[in-house]
Chain A
């Protein structure tokens, strides 16, 4: 099993780097070419969510992305925000999406979760095993 770890300061500019690395490792692991757009989007959404949480809580800690290819392609995106922040992710129904009272942040969070849930069949959002934070774990099949 090969593992690639990427750790980055919680700034939006680095999310693109995480996407590029995540897709490069996915391709190397043997994830089907037609799934790579979804891998790119899902890793981007998970990292965007982590960066937003770190900024919301004023955390300078890095966001961790860990990619491994033991039989399938697994990606973990780990934030260090208080656990309450990671719970209660919900997708928004269509009639609420354009609701005037919905804040931009709530809309983006809801849409981001809808994309994660829609594009990743094997998705888990759970507290980290040690310390404070949440882990978004995504798994894709490899086609070799």
Chain B
């Protein structure tokens, strides 16, 4: 399934809904969209992986890149994921210790807002 990207705003947070396959071919489009959002001023970004059915190392690299970029801009970055196969990928790579991972967008937004003192 092709990559799909849709953006919406929840309070101070920009939520990027990703669907389909994120791999070595499609990950550059995800990277471009994240850069557009961050360059456009988004500082609190939540990436919703709820409709992703494949994610590889290239896609993970793009997500880490966005995390680093937002961290250096005093922003925040969180992921929404509740699918066991994807969660296993985060555990195996130890990236579950790098990303804030939440089961829902609401949980991600409220955890991030509480953490930021907003």
Tell me how many residue pairs across A and B have CB atoms closer than 8 Å.
76
Given contacts A15-B24, A16-B25, A94-B98, contact A108 B92 (CB under 8 A): no
| Interface of B (DSSP majority class) | helix
Query: Which residues of chain B (30-85) have a CB below 8 Å from chain A?
Result: 54, 56-58, 60-61, 64-65, 67-68, 71-72, 85
The distance in angstroms between the C-alpha atoms of A112 and B55, with both chains bound, is 11
The reply to whether A40 and B61 form a contact with Cβ atoms under 8 Å apart is: no
Question: Chain B's nearest CB lies how many Å from the CB of A19?
Answer: 8
Q: Hey, which chain A residues are within 8 Å of B97, CB to CB?
A: 94
B25 touches A107 (CB 8 A): no
Q: Are A114 and B24 in contact (CB under 8 A)?
A: no
Q: How far is the CB of A44 from chain B (nearest CB, A)?
A: 5
- Smallest Cβ-Cβ distance to A117: which chain B residue: B92
* Interface: A93 (CB within 8 A): yes
A15-B25, A44-B24, A111-B57 are known contacts; what are 14 more A-B pairs with Cβ within 8 Å? A12-B23, A15-B23, A16-B23, A41-B56, A51-B24, A104-B61, A107-B61, A107-B64, A108-B60, A108-B61, A111-B61, A112-B56, A114-B92, A114-B93
Given A98-B68, A111-B95, check contact A12 B54 (CB 8 Å): no
Expressed in whole angstroms, the Cα–Cα distance for A44 and B89 within the complex equals: 13
B residues apposed to A, CB below 8 Å: 21, 23-25, 54, 56-58, 60-61, 64-65, 67-68, 71-72, 85, 89, 92-95, 97-98
Decide yes or no whether A100 CB sits under 8 A from chain B: yes
Cα–Cα distance between A112 and B57 once the two chains are bound (Å): 5
Identify which of B21, B57, B64, B98 contacts A115 (C-beta below 8 A). Answer: B57
Chain A residues whose C-beta falls within 8 Å of the C-beta of B60 in the assembled complex: 108, 111
- Cα A37 to Cα B83 in complex, Å, equals 13
- A residues apposed to B, CB below 8 Å: 12-13, 15-16, 19, 37, 40-41, 44-45, 48, 51-52, 92-94, 97-98, 100, 104, 107-109, 111-112, 114-115, 118-119
Taking CB atoms, residues of chain B closer than 8 Å to A41 are: 54, 56, 89
For the complex, what is the distance from the CA of A107 to the CA of B56, rounded to whole Å? Answer: 12
Contacts of A52 in B (CB 8 A): 24
User: Which has the most chain B C-beta neighbours within 10 Å: A51, A109, A118?
Assistant: A118
**Closest residue of A by beta carbon distance from B97:** A94
